[in-house]
Amino acid sequence: MPISTPTVMPTLAPSPTPTPAPSPTPTPAPSPTPTPKPVEKINVTVSSQMVKKVGGKYRYLFEIRNHDSKSFTGIATISLYNDKQQTALGQGTFDMIQPLQPSLGSVVCFDSNTGPISQRGGDGITHFKYTIMVNGQGVNAGEGQITGKYEDTSLF
């Protein structure tokens, strides 16, 4: 029997499939940083209405009035000062939970050991400062004189 020698068959090399060039991955546009909204002023003011002596303390009555065109819900902080000191001699903070409607006011009060200038002379309270806050941002601030209206309830 004849022996056959194997013949090497040429193998076809696979033709390379061209690899597509990588397309550049688009870089996503950076998301814009939210710009904080500018603080919108609200026309809510505070005015001194009266001081009453109640027991051994002085009760300071103020009106918080909404002069704005929309209702106000926020916080009013009122601080008492005299002309000699820079630090507050009394302070009250009022959370207006119920909306204060336009053109309306709300009377608030707080007590202090220090009386007005009419009762305590040069050491007395002469003026106040207030800050109006909405959602943690100051929307109005101001100051005013303590009224000369005074009542001593211990005389009744």
Q: Is residue 59 part of a domain?
A: yes
Q: Is residue 23 part of a domain?
A: no
Cα(156)–Cα(60) distance, rounded to whole angstroms? Answer: 19
Which is more confident, 113 or 4? 113
Amino acid at 96: M
Q: Is residue 22 part of a domain?
A: no
Q: Is residue 6 part of a domain?
A: no
Q: pLDDT by residue (tens digit) across 74-97?
A: 999 999 999 998 899 999 999 998
Q: Is residue 31 part of a domain?
A: no
Write phi, then psi, for 105 (nearest 5 degrees). -135, 170
Record the tokens describing residue 122, joined without a space.
Answer: 């040069």
28: left (phi over 0), alpha (psi -120 to 50) or beta: beta
Range of the domain at 101: 44-149
Kindly indicate the confidence band of residue 122, based on its pLDDT and cuts at 50, 70 and 90. confident
pLDDT at 149 over 80: yes
Strand locations in the chain, DSSP E?
44-54, 57-66, 75-81, 90-95, 105-112, 127-134, 137-145, 150-152
Which is more confident, 31 or 40? 40
Q: Is residue 97 part of a domain?
A: yes
pLDDT at 30 over 70: no
Q: Is residue 131 part of a domain?
A: yes
Q: Is residue 38 part of a domain?
A: no
Q: Is 154 helix (H, G, I), strand (E, B) or coil?
A: helix
CATH number at residue 96: 2.60.40.10
pLDDT of res. 28? 61
Kindly indicate the confidence band of residue 50, based on its pLDDT and cuts at 50, 70 and 90. very high
**Residues making up the chain, counted from first to last:** 156
Q: Are 72 and 96 in contact (CB under 8 A)?
A: yes
Q: Is 104 helix (H, G, I), strand (E, B) or coil?
A: coil
In the chain, the number of structural domains is 1
